[in-house]
Amino acid sequence: MKLSLLLILLMALLSAVQAQDAVKRDDHQMHGLHNDPKAYIGALEDPKRDAYQKPHEVIHALNLKSGEVIADIGAGSGYFTFHLARHVGDKGKVYAVDVSPEMILHINRRIRELKANNVVTVLADPDDPLLPDRSVNRFFFSDSWHHIENQSKYLSLMKRMLKPGGAVVMIDFHKKELPVGPPMNMKIAREDLIKQLDSNGYRLTKEHSFLTYQYFLVFAPR
């Protein structure tokens, strides 16, 4: 009886480990799918992502106001874009910024399907979001900052593009072994990100801790 119970427990543990490994493989593979837009969009929109990304809780924490202008940087498939658009309302605007023409085409299709007329796509340069000066209330990065190559230049440009009182929201994975997220060499530690923004003229104004695998930081320019 005891042996049977032990075997059942061991099998359950093995299944849990295998499931976690499968999620980890899927997520790491997602970061290698940029050359396969259809597969990459499918990975970004996988319902399993909601369990750790918690989009509704993130949007609630942002406390968005009607009429705000948000720049969703590295918008990808629009995973957050349309959540943001619903909360800024018809008087607001969301710039869906991405460097991939395929992602921009996909978001444009969704704009037509959802009649989301407050979403504007921007095919950007890798180190420049190509937005007007003083046009944005908040820059929003979800799992995308680590893709920016010239980060110092980007931080400088954002200062110019932010409206007075504007903010930069950064959500990214903790730099440790996790069942989801990019490979370790792509991760930026929370402390390093805070130091980086501080040295580029931004101060940390708020932090949320409800995400399981990610930090959620809000910065304002000095």
Range of the domain at 131: 2-221
- 162-173 β-sheet, strand order: 119-123, 93-98, 69-73, 136-142, 162-173, 214-221, 202-208
> Which runs of consecutive H residues, i.e. helices, occur in 54-175?
55-62, 81-88, 101-114, 151-161
Which position has the higher pLDDT, 22 or 153? 153
Count: domains in the chain: 1
Show the CA angle centred on residue 115, arms to residues 125 and 73, nearest 5°. Answer: 25
Using the predicted structure, report yes or no on whether residue 44 has a pLDDT greater than 80. Answer: no
Instruction: With beta carbons less than 8 A apart as the criterion, state whether 119 and 82 touch.
Output: yes
The domain spanning residue 8 has which CATH number?
Answer: 3.40.50.150
Residue 6 has pLDDT above 90, yes or no: no
pLDDT per residue as tens digits for the range 167-212: 999 999 999 999 999 999 999 999 999 999 999 999 999 999 999 9
74 — pLDDT class (breaks 50, 70, 90):
very high
Q: Are 136 and 184 in contact (CB under 8 A)?
A: no
**pLDDT of amino acid 3:** 52
Please give the pLDDT value at position 43.
75
SS3 70: strand
pLDDT in tens, 78-125: 999 999 999 999 999 999 999 999 999 999 999 999 999 999 999 999
Contact by Cβ (8 Å): 161, 129: yes
Q: Does residue 25 carry a pLDDT above 90? A: no
What's the whole-number average pLDDT of the chain?
A: 88
Strand partners, 125: 128
Nearest CA to 30 out of 21, 19, 41 is that of 41
Q: Is 121 helix (H, G, I), strand (E, B) or coil?
A: strand
Collect all residues with Cβ–Cβ distance below 8 Å to 199 and sequence separation of at least 6.
none
Three-state DSSP state, 209? coil
User: How much is the pLDDT for 16?
Assistant: 45
- Give me the sign of the Cα torsion angle 85, 152, 167, 27: positive
Residue type, 131: L
**Structure token digits, residue 80:** 């957050």
Which pLDDT score, from 0 to 100, does residue 38 have?
73
Task: Kindly list the distances between the CA atom of residue 5 and the CA atoms of 1, 2, 11, 43, 117, in Å, as whole numbers in the listed order.
Answer: 6, 5, 10, 37, 58
pLDDT of residue 165: 97
CB contact at 8 A, 136 and 129: no
Q: Give the helix/strand (H/E) hosting 29.
A: helix 2-30
Confidence of residue 29 (pLDDT cuts 50, 70, 90): very low
Q: Is the model's pTM score more than 0.95?
A: no
